[in-house]
Amino acid sequence: MKQQTIKQSVSISGTGLHTGQKGTLTFNPAPEHHGIKFRRVDIEGQPIVEARVENVVDTSRGTTIAQNGARVYTVEHILASVRGAGIDNILIDINCEEPPIQDGSAKNMIETLKSAGIVEQNAEREYLRINKEVKYINEKIGAEIIITPADDFRMEVSVDYNSKVLKPQTAILEDMSDFEKEISPCRTFVFFHELEMLLKYNLIKGGDLSTAIVFVEGFVGEEELQRVAKLFNMESVGVHEGGILNNTTLRFENEPARHKLLDLIGDMALLGKPILGHVKAFKPGHLANTEFVKLIIENLE
């Protein structure tokens, strides 16, 4: 396999989920062995932030990276899109702190990348290969992620939140060529009772009820529903019979598990190179994902 980049620059614009900043993201071609890098074009000197796990500075409700005095929030969907499109080298200009959330999935991002054209470069693609099982366990949050040696890359993700409405479920990706169709459309999700906490901590300032699946655990009164509708500038909201706010319907029966798989692909891109191995994860999250990546690197070294 040869390394790949995009043929021409292409942009998307929108609002960041947590910061609420409006900005533009521009994907640019990059030379061989460049890797994935962000460039904060809104800051003097246009500092570069490399998509590497050693640059991770925060994993609460998203993966944030920082370098050279600059930060980029919530990078996981972009990184998953780049990996899903088979791109090795790319320079991503961003004129604010956080990329646009779009519809809460990676669908628009990977479509934008592919619209630019994917071109093969001369250098061979470099893969990371493990020669023994690497296991990460975090008993406090109940997460477990394992990678075993293999000649290809596959991933299986299971989630269980002890919920009446979000049942235990599993998502499987057997080949990265299936990412665009099977994984990229899957949106982020949240429980109804978490919305107020997120707003209290000054998060989801750019969110609206069209950018996430909201699961409702138990009875919620009409007064509370209307209060949430007002917070998100909607006339009204209700609850589907299946326990989801009626602003949306699921794109896949196991869309939450598929989205967690999407996030894990994005966070594993922080390895800096694609890896060969079979990954099996239970209740992954950004903290667990990035700690798992660090553990892989330790074992590679």
Q: Give 179: exposed, middle or buried? Use CB within 10 Å, 0-12, 13-18, 19+.
A: buried
Is 19 within the bounds of a domain? yes
* Total count of domains within the chain: 1
pLDDT at 27: 98
226 pLDDT exceeds 70? yes
Angle 166-258-101 from CA coordinates, rounded to 5°: 95
pLDDT tens digits along 78-103: 999 999 999 999 999 999 999 998 88
In a domain, 82, yes or no: yes
Can 286 be counted among the known catalytic residues? yes
- Tell whether 13 is covered by a domain: yes
Q: What is the mean pLDDT of residues 16-45?
A: 93
Six token digits for residue 11: 């942009």
CB 80 within 8 A of CB 263: yes
Q: pTM of the full predicted structure?
A: 0.93
**Assigned domain for 278 exists:** no
CA angle 60, 193, 197 (to 5 degrees): 45
For 98-126, the pLDDT digits (tens) are 999 888 899 999 999 999 999 999 999 99
Mean pLDDT, range 28-41, rounded to an integer: 98
| Per-residue confidence (pLDDT) for residue 2, from 0 to 100 | 97
The string of pLDDT tens digits covering residues 187-206 is 999 888 787 676 666 555 55
Token pair of 271 as six digits: 């390895």
Secondary structure letter of residue 244 according to DSSP: B
The two structure tokens encoding residue 160: 């269980």
* Angle, vertex CA 213, rays to CA 162 and CA 61, nearest 5: 75
Q: What is the mean pLDDT of residues 223-243?
A: 74
Spatial separation of the C-alpha atoms in residues 146 and 162, rounded to whole Å: 22
φ/ψ of residue 49, rounded to 5:
-120, 110
Spatial distance between the Cα atoms of 180 and 55, rounded to a whole number of angstroms: 27
CATH of the domain at 22: 3.30.230.20
Share of the chain above pLDDT 70, in %: 92
Residue 242 has pLDDT above 80, yes or no: no
For 100, the domain range is 2-126
What single letter denotes the amino acid at residue 27?
F
Q: Is residue 300 classed as helix, strand or coil in its secondary structure?
A: helix
Rounded to whole angstroms, the Cα distance separating 60 from 198 reads: 11
For 291, the 3-state DSSP assignment is helix
Of 292, 56, 145, 153, which is closest to residue 300 (Cα–Cα)? 292
pLDDT tens-place string over residues 145-188: 999 999 999 999 999 999 989 999 999 999 999 999 999 999 99
Identify the active-site residue in 18, 77, 259, 286. 286
Under 8 Å between Cβ of 184 and 106: yes
